[in-house]
């Protein structure tokens, strides 16, 4: 029997929870999720990945459109950029921007369109904005649903 669980670790290799952060500044998981990941069931891993996917999708869909999914996939594969192909394609942009730092990046050549309201932003400004918004969503979720439970 096959399942559709998203179980691959979202770790990007720069974990700030080792320095005491409650939320990793890399993958945006909570510290207890990072330390317990290996013990999690597929269902628990899926829950974490779906939350992260939901946040990424919300943030990235506001700024970009995927105009050619196959071209984006090929571009990521050709550049040997690690991404979770089980996630929705818009979420792959998070890994693309994490791995590439080129200001001259031609999004259309990768199958991506930037929405007009963000056309004045540079790639580095967009990366910073995406990370900031993702961290803010994760922090809000943590404050509302996790920290209050831990305190009781």
Which residues have CB under 8 Å from 151's CB, separation 6+?
A: none
Structure confidence by residue, pLDDT tens digits, 5-55:
889 999 888 899 989 999 999 999 999 999 999 999 999 999 999 999 999
Structure confidence by residue, pLDDT tens digits, 116-133:
999 999 999 999 999 999
pLDDT of 102: 77
Is beta strand 64-66 parallel, antiparallel or unpaired with respect to 112-114? antiparallel
Q: Is the pLDDT of residue 152 over 60?
A: no
Structure confidence by residue, pLDDT tens digits, 77-95:
999 999 999 999 999 999 9
pLDDT of 18: 87
Query: What DSSP line would sit under 11-44, residue for residue?
Result: --S--GGGGT-SB-TTT--BHHHHHHGGG--HHH
CA distance 63 to 69: 16
The H or E element spanning position 113 is strand 112-114
Domain ranges across the chain: 64-121
pLDDT band at 151 (very low <50, low <70, confident <90, very high): low
Q: Is the pLDDT of residue 1 over 60?
A: no
Beta carbons of 24 and 34 less than 8 angstroms apart: yes
- Point out the least confidently predicted range of 4-8, 32-36, 61-65, 66-70: 4-8
Neighbours of 146 (CB within 10 A): 16
Rounded to two decimals, the pTM is 0.90
């Amino acid at each position: 029997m096959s399942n559709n669980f998203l179980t691959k670790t979202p770790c990007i290799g720069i974990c700030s929870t080792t320095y005491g952060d409650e939320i990793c500044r890399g993958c945006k998981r909570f510290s207890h999720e990072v330390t317990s990941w290996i013990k999690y069931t597929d269902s628990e891993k899926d829950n974490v990945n779906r939350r992260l996917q939901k946040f990424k999708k919300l943030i990235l869909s506001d700024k970009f459109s995927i105009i050619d999914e196959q071209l984006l996939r090929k571009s990521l594969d050709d550049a040997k950029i690690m991404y979770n192909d089980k996630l929705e394609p818009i979420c792959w942009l998070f890994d693309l921007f994490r791995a590439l730092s080129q200001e001259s990046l031609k999004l259309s050549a990768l199958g991506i369109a930037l929405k007009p309201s963000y056309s004045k932003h540079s790639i580095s400004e967009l990366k910073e904005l995406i990370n900031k918004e993702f961290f803010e969503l994760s922090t809000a979720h943590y404050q509302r649903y996790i920290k209050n439970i831990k305190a009781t």
